[in-house]
Amino acid sequence: MVTRYILDTNVLIPYFQRDFFLELGKRGLPIHWSLSIEAEFRDVWARLYPQMPENGPKILRLMRTVVPDWRAPESRKVLQEARLPDAKDRHVLAAAVGAGAGVIVTWNTKDFPPSALDGLGIMARTPDDVLCALFDEDPEGFIAAAAAMRARLKNPAMTPAEWLKGVKSTRLPRLQEKLARVSGHL
């Protein structure tokens, strides 16, 4: 059975993280997010980047184009009944249940403790953990995706070393180490 992934807002804001998941989604990885995650994305984007608030909605339109099957319905029952450390995260769990996801990709794994996910068949994992596991499952496919990501950067273009520095700077150190070993293919 193929694992579906729900992407939390904190994974979609940083460029390199978002780009990895979108490139892999374009290549068939079942990634999803919900309308509530999009709303949170717009709010967070506007707060973090007040000098360019119009880019948030543009990014969301691009994401929808790249991954046409993005939309995760939210389980109403989970929205009303889930017991999480932060009630504001219920919408993410509701999207995971609604999409039949096995993994919530988030930096806030503590907000989705195993006790709250018991019986749902869902686990919370960091982007670095998920991307490293995906690399290990299909190194050739992952390297091809990474090379395509780097090749898209034109203004400015980046050498493999510069690109890897960017990957590491967005809290993906283990993935950066794996990719550094194959940098000749990037």
Which tens digit of pLDDT belongs to each residue from 3-41? 999 999 999 999 999 999 999 999 999 999 999 999 999
Cβ contact 123:104 at 8 Å: yes
Is the whole-model pTM more than 0.85? yes
pLDDT at 2: 87
One domain, residues 89 and 174: no
One domain, residues 98 and 158: no
Q: Which domain holds residue 173?
A: 131-185
* CB neighbourhood size of 19 (10 A): 21
* CB neighbourhood size of 182 (10 A): 16
pLDDT digits (tens, 9 = 90+) for 143-154: 999 999 999 998
Q: What is the CATH number of the domain that holds 67?
A: 3.40.50.1010
pLDDT digits (tens, 9 = 90+) for 69-128: 999 999 999 999 999 999 999 999 999 999 999 999 999 999 999 999 989 999 999 999
pLDDT at 156: 86
Tokens of residue 84, six digits: 């999480």
One domain, residues 99 and 163: no
In terms of Cα–Cα distance, which of 98, 126, 127 is closest to 111? 126
Residues 45-60 have a mean pLDDT of 95
One domain, residues 88 and 149: no
pLDDT digits (tens, 9 = 90+) for 142-183: 999 999 999 999 888 899 999 999 998 999 999 999 999 999
In terms of Cα–Cα distance, which of 98, 122, 99 is closest to 111? 122
Q: Structural domain tally of the chain?
A: 2
Please, which pLDDT band fits residue 1 given cuts at 50, 70 and 90?
A: confident
